[in-house]
Structure 1
Amino acid sequence: MDADLSINSLVKVTGSTALLGLGSNLGDRIGWLYYGLAKLGSHSGIRLEMVSSIWSTPPVQAAGGEFLNIAVRVNTSLNAHELLQAVKGIEAETGRSGSASDARRLDIDIIYFGDSIVDESSLVIPHPRRLMRSFVLAPIAEVCGTAVDPVFKTRISELAYLKLPGLIPRATRVFHPGWHGSPRSGKFG
């Protein structure tokens, strides 16, 4: 899990804004989230722009203990499929098998990719279960600014406060004493 947080904040990446969800429920959960941020930030086609608070939630249809979740807003020169390959590569480095029901050191999902709507067997954007999971909505609302959901034409931050049928209700914001700073400063702890 040794990865330096060498965020390429001096490199101007131009392209699309994407909102990603990261989660971990195995081992050093905060360490794995940090690792995911470091790996994303070291990719030449990805620039971290904003990271949410850490949120804790029970596992949903997955083995293991409580998840810690964050959202990150990135600017990327990659297209959606290339970004998917990049995040799946990072997951694979942590030993992720790809099974949705396994406990995992690191899970990275593309929640939004600009205002794109993609419905393919290998990639669905926006994430199809985003509105049913408070552990996605709450952190995404912190980093999305005034972004609008391309399907519902509603601000993403407003969707986080809707009480939708089937919503996984409990997401608790947690703070870690070593989790401070911003991606632009390159200081996390």
Structure 2
Amino acid sequence: MGALCSNLPVESNVFIALGSNQGDRELNLLRAVAEIGKLAQTRITALSGFYDTEPVGPVDQPNFLNGVLRVETALSPRHLLVELQRIETEVFRRVRDVQWGPRAMDLDILLYGDLILEEEGLVIPHPRLHERRFVLVPLAEIAPGQIHPKLGKRVDELLRSLPPGERVTRV
């Protein structure tokens, strides 16, 4: 009879949004994917296409290139966030001085399995995931049936429910 308890880490399916609007945007996204692929106890299982998108928010800035990555990881949500922020700052020299401002790399945890988490500096699912076409289009490409754990709706349903607007073009 097998053991009821194991010390093996439990892996979760996690979706990470990638965005860049400074420098070589495509190279930046590919570098970010490579860096995430180096994380301990983490493996990449899917990558969406890349999409040229208009910036959202009050800051005038260049268009973004966005994508979504699916990984399986045994890292805790907080540890994963720390690693993603390390990649943003160490690899891409991100400085967080203007909210929603231009950046070489933005990495956000969208979904972490079916987890619902609200801590200081970490909210999962991402609080604006269901409102953003630039996230839902690439997410629906790789996981249309994924359920938003808080809203109980599939990603493709969330995408269809968005009002028209917000241009998202596959490159």
After TM superposition, the score normalised by the length of structure 1 is 0.79
CA RMSD between the two structures: 1.6
SS in 2 for 1:160: helix
SS in 2 for 1:147: coil
- For these two proteins, the number of residue pairs brought into alignment is 160
Q: Which amino acid aligns with 1:30?
A: E
Q: Please point out which of 82, 88, 94 is paired with 2:79.
A: 82
C-alpha distance in structure 1 between counterparts of 2:144 and 2:76, whole Å:
22
Q: Corresponding residue for 1:53?
A: 49
Structure 1 unpaired stretches of 5+? 1-12, 175-189
Q: Corresponding residue for 1:25?
A: 21
**Higher Rg of the two aligned structures:** 2
Q: CA deviation at 1:159?
A: 1.2
C-alpha distance in structure 1 between counterparts of 2:143 and 2:126, whole Å:
15
Q: Corresponding residue for 1:66?
A: 63
Identity over aligned residues, as a percent?
A: 37
Within 5 Å, give how 1:11-160 maps onto structure 2.
15-61=11-57, 62-93=59-90, 94-99=92-97, 100-160=99-159
C-alpha distance in structure 1 between counterparts of 2:144 and 2:123, whole Å:
22
Q: Corresponding residue for 1:169?
A: 166
C-alpha distance in structure 2 between counterparts of 1:163 and 1:65, whole Å:
23
User: Contact 1:96/1:104 (CA < 8 Å) preserved in 2?
Assistant: yes
Structure 2 unpaired stretches of 5+? 1-8
